[in-house]
Structure 1
Amino acid sequence: MAQPPVEESSSVAPTTSYSGIQPYSGSTTLAQPPIETTTLITGTDSGSLMLRVQQLEADVRRLNGLLEEATQALQLLEAQSLERYVDLDRRLASGAAVEVAEGLGSESTVPTTAVSETPVPGRAVDAQAGEEAAYRAAYELVREREFSGAVVAFTEFLADYPFGRYAPNAHYWLGELYLVLDPPDPELARQNFKLLLDQYPADPKVPDALYKLGRVQFIKGNRQRSKEYLDEVIREYPSHAAAQLARQFLLENF
C-alpha cells in the first residue's frame, strides 16, 4: 500500500498557530522570569531556615539552663542528705566505740591462766584502735565539709583496712561523697554503693545504698535500672526510711 502524502499529515494534527514566534535573537528575556522566581523561593526558604535555627538555638539555651538548675538542685539535695547521715553515723560510731571500750575492759579481768590458754590479741586490739582512729579522722573531714579530703582519707582507710569493721561505712560515705563533689562522679559513687551491697549484704546501710543506687542510675540516664533499685528498696525494706524516699522519687520522676 502506498504511504499517505507527507503534506496530508498536517490535516489531522491539532491546529496550532506559530505566527507569534519570533526568530531566536540571543535574548534571555524569556528565561529571566523563572530565574527570578527561583531566587525568590530560595530566599524565602533561607529566611525560614534561619528563623528555625534561631528558635532551636534558643531552645537549646533554655534546656541547658534548666539542666544546670536541676544539677545544682540535685547537688544541694545530695549535700543535705549527706549532712543528715552524718549525725546518724556519728551516733553509730559512738556506740561502736563504747562496745570496743567494754570489750577491752572485759579482757582486763581475764585470769592469767586464761591468757595462757587463749592469748590476748594485743596486736589485733591495736589494729582495731588504729582502724577506728583512721575512720574517725576521715569522718571528721565529712563533718567539716572537706569533701575532697574525705574522699582521699576514706580511700586510704579502705586500702589499709579493706575488710575492717568500718569498711562498709567507708564504702557508703565514698558513694555519698562522689555525688557531692564538684563535679560529681556518679560512676565511682555507683561502684562504692555496689561494693557495699555485694560484700556486706546484711549491713544496716544496705537499704540506703539501694536507694542511692537508684538515684545514681537515674542520673546516669538508666531509668529502667533506676526503677529496679528503687522497687527493690520498697519491696525488701518497706518500713525503712529509704523506702519512703524511694516511693517519693518514683512518684516525682516516673
Structure 2
Amino acid sequence: MRWITMAAALRRSYLLAPVVVLATASCTSVPTTEDPIYLKLTDLEARLIRIERVMDNQSLIDLSSRVDLVQDQAQMLTGEVETLRYETDNGTDRQRQLYLDIDSRLQILEVTQAQTANLPPVAITDLNLEDSEPFVSRPRVLQGSDQDNYRVAFDLLKNGRYVESAQAFDQFLAVFPSSPLADNAQYWLAETYYVQRQFTTALPTFRAVVDSYPDSSKLADALLKIGFCNFELQQWDAARVALERVAREFPETTAARLASQRLERLTQEQG
C-alpha cells in the first residue's frame, strides 16, 4: 500500500510541475477559480483521492475476508474436535471389541508359534471330568494339549462368556504352569475381570503378569491395564507410576500412546 501511495504522489508532482509554471505565468490575467489549468488540476487531485480511497477500502475488504475465512476454519476445527471427543467418550465398548478381535488374531499366531517349538503334547489325566459338579457350571476342558485348552478359554472370552473364560484360564494355569502360553493365559484371565469392571480383582491378576513373567510380550499391556485399573479406582499416584513406566520403557508403541492419553486425563482429573 505504501508504494502505491508514493507512486500516486510522484505522479501528482509530475502533473503539477508544468501546470504550476503555467498558472504562475497567467495568474495576473485570469482569476484562480476560473483558470482552466487550476480547474483541471483540482479535478486530477479529486480523482487521485478517490482512487486512493478505493484502494484503501479494497485492502480492508481483503483483510476482512481473510479474517472471516480464519473464523470459519476455526469453527470447522472446533466441530471436528467435538465430534472426536464424542466418539472417544462413547467408543469404549467398540474399542474393547476391536481390541479383542485384534488379539484373537495374535492368539492364532501365538498358538502356531508354540506348536513349532516341538513341545510334546500333555494329556489331561489328573482331572476327573465326571465329578459331582454339573458339567454346565465349568468350562469344557479338552483331552489334549495346552494349545487346545488355551484356544477353548480364549474363544469363551471372544464370545463374551467372561465367567466361563475366567474359569478356563484359571484351570489352564493350574494344569499347564510351564506352558509357553502361560503368560498370555495369565493376562487374559485378568482381562476377563477387567471387561466386567471388576477392577479390584483384575489389578492383582495383571500384576501377576509383571511379577511372574517379566519377559512376556504382554508386559507392556499388563502395565497399561494396571494403570487403567488404578485410574478407575481413583488411585492416582499408582496409576501415574504404571502409565509413566509404559511410556518410558515402551516408546513408539500403541501401549505408550494409550498411556500418554490416560496420563492427560489423569492430569485433568487431579485438576
Displacement after TM superposition at 1:146 (Å)? 0.9
Confirm or deny: 8 A CA contact 1:82 1:176 kept in the other structure. no
Structure-1 residue corresponding to 2:260: 247
Q: CA RMSD in A?
A: 2.6
TM-score by length of 2: 0.53
Aligned to 1:57: none
Q: Please tell me whether the aligned partners of residues 227 and 243 of structure 2 are also in contact (alpha carbons under 8 angstroms).
A: yes
Paired position in structure 2 for 1:90: 104
Q: 2:189 corresponds to which residue?
A: 174
Counterpart of 1:125? Answer: 121
Q: Return the match for 1:99 from 97, 113, 130.
A: 113
Are residues 1:146 and 2:157 paired?
no
Kindly state the Cα deviation for residue 86 of structure 1 after the two structures are TM-superposed.
2.4
Residue type at the aligned position of 1:207: A
Quick one: structure 1 residues 138 and 82, their matched pair in 2 at CA, closer, same or farther if it must change by over 3 Å? farther
AA aligned to 2:190 is G
Give the unaligned 5+ runs of structure 2: 1-87, 125-143
Greater displacement, 161-170 / 206-215: 161-170
Correspondence for 1:206? 219
Q: Does the 8 A contact of 2:228 with 2:239 survive in 1?
A: yes
* CA offsets 1:169-225 (integer angstroms, 9 cap, x no match): 1111122211222xx321221111101001111111111111110111112221011
Report deviation, 1:94. 2.1
Any unmatched runs of 5+ in structure 1? 1-72, 105-120
CA distance in 1, matches of 2:91, 2:157: 15
* TM-score between the two structures when normalised by the length of structure 1: 0.57
Higher RCO, Cα 8 Å, sep 6+: 1
Distance 1:80 1:206, change over 3 A: farther
- Preserved CA contact (<8 Å) 1:151 1:174: yes
Pair 204,166 (structure 1): closer, same or farther in 2 beyond 3 Å: same
**CA distance in 2 between partners of 1:220 and 1:133 (Å):** 35
Secondary structure of 2:145's match?
Answer: helix
Equivalents in 2 of 1:167, 1:103: separation in Å? 15
What is the letter of the counterpart of residue 196 of structure 1?
A: V
1:185 corresponding residue in structure 2: 198
Q: How many residues end up aligned between the 2 structures?
A: 161
**What is the CA–CA distance in structure 1 between the aligned matches of 2:265 and 2:210, rounded to whole Å?**
26
Q: Deviations over 1:56-82 (max 9, x none)?
A: xxxxxxxxxxxxxxxxx99972x5444
Identity %: 30
Whole-angstrom CA distance in 1 between matches of 2:254 and 2:114: 28
Amino acid of the structure 2 residue aligned with 1:203: S
